[in-house]
Amino acid sequence: MKAKQNINKDSKLFIAGHRGMVGSAVWRALEAKGYTNLTGRTSKELDLRDQAAVRAFMESERPEVVINAAARVGGIWANNEYPYPFLMENLQIQNNLIDAAHRNDVEKFVFLGSSCIYPKLAPQPLKEAYLLTDTLEPTNQWYAIAKIAGVKACEALRKQYGKDFVSLMPTNLYGPFDNFDLKTSHVLPAMMRKFHEAKENNNAPVELWGSGTPMREFLHVDDMARAVVFATENVLPEYLYNVGTGMDLTIKQLAETIQKIVGHTGNIVWDSTKPDGTPRKLMDVSKMNALGWKSKIPLKEGIESTYRWFLENGVKQ
């Protein structure tokens, strides 16, 4: 790894999506390390889909670092139901941020994507080299194609202009400020809410999608935030890095873990007529690990703390 980035605790850092689960975790992590010049804008204050507005913002604020944690996100149902906004809005958000950052000589750009950029049936664990080697999972291809375009835009700027733009691809994230809406959320928070509500309803049965056999990897958002800080403070030698734990489990095992933590004692019913999605998505995180970053929060401990947050803050929809 090259020398540390020429960024100090007074450098101006813009976190796009700072109110979301990932962006807020990144903000907390940077504050905890002593960064004092953080800036963010709500969607009402700055519509990241508006190219002119994003360009004007960059020209007036002149951040030294941009972290793109803003995206339209959701689970299988949301991706299937809203393919066009999942493709177009994510393209607009990231293209506007990347181009405006380039035009205004931003020193560092950290682009956040998702493990869904890799082919559906790629060998496991997923290596960065597998990008664009086969077809994508159909249910979330719209989001994946947008994120692939962002990765390639950052790579192109590195190649043509020598810019320090880097892409981090996290595995499935969870934690405080997650989306617990049953239609648009990802699997872990959706399960947490289902088990909690069933527990409150005399431990009623819980119906879950699919067979329970697919394998998934889960990373606490605070670990992801540490990876973003790591990428911000160091000049990483390559353009693309996976971020995860390097360990996975079946959806059935995940359900049983959450059920136990929540305290639900009813039955679990699997609806095999619903899609499973990709059979397995385990990240090869050896590149990030070799540079010095590793996940720290065990899954059970992370789910326990997330459930405590859920109880303290109420259901987020």
Query: Is 171 among the annotated ligand-binding positions?
Result: yes
In the prediction, which pLDDT does 73 show?
A: 81
> Which pLDDT band, with edges at 50, 70 and 90, does 140 fall under?
confident
Query: Is 77 among the annotated ligand-binding positions?
Result: no
Among candidate residues 35, 118, 143, 174, the one labeled active-site is: 143
| pLDDT (mean) for 101-125 | 95
Over residues 285-304, the pLDDT tens digits come to: 999 999 999 999 999 999 99
Q: CB of 220 within 8 A of CB of 239?
A: no
Averaged pLDDT of the chain: 94
CATH 3.40.50.720 fits 13-176+218-247+282-297, yes or no: yes
Over residues 71-108, the pLDDT tens digits come to: 988 777 778 889 999 999 999 999 999 999 999 999 99
Look at the chain and count its residues. 317
Residue with tokens 């959701």: 74
Beta bridge partners of 111: 68, 167
Active site residue 239: no
Q: Pick from 94, 67, 112: which is nearest to 233 by CA?
A: 67
Question: Residue 40 pLDDT more than 60?
Answer: yes
Query: Is 178 among the annotated ligand-binding positions?
Result: no
Query: Is 276 among the annotated ligand-binding positions?
Result: yes
Question: Residue 52 pLDDT more than 80?
Answer: yes
| Cβ-based neighbours of 164, under 8 Å, separated by 6 or more | 5, 107, 108, 109, 158, 235
| pLDDT (mean) for 112-116 | 93
Q: Pick from 99, 91, 108, 138: which is nearest to 13 by CA?
A: 108
Over residues 252-298, the pLDDT tens digits come to: 999 999 999 999 999 999 999 988 877 888 999 999 999 999 999 99
Query: Is 173 among the annotated ligand-binding positions?
Result: yes
Q: What percent of the chain has pLDDT over 90?
A: 85
In the prediction, which pLDDT does 4 show?
A: 57
CA angle 156, 161, 162 (to 5 degrees): 95
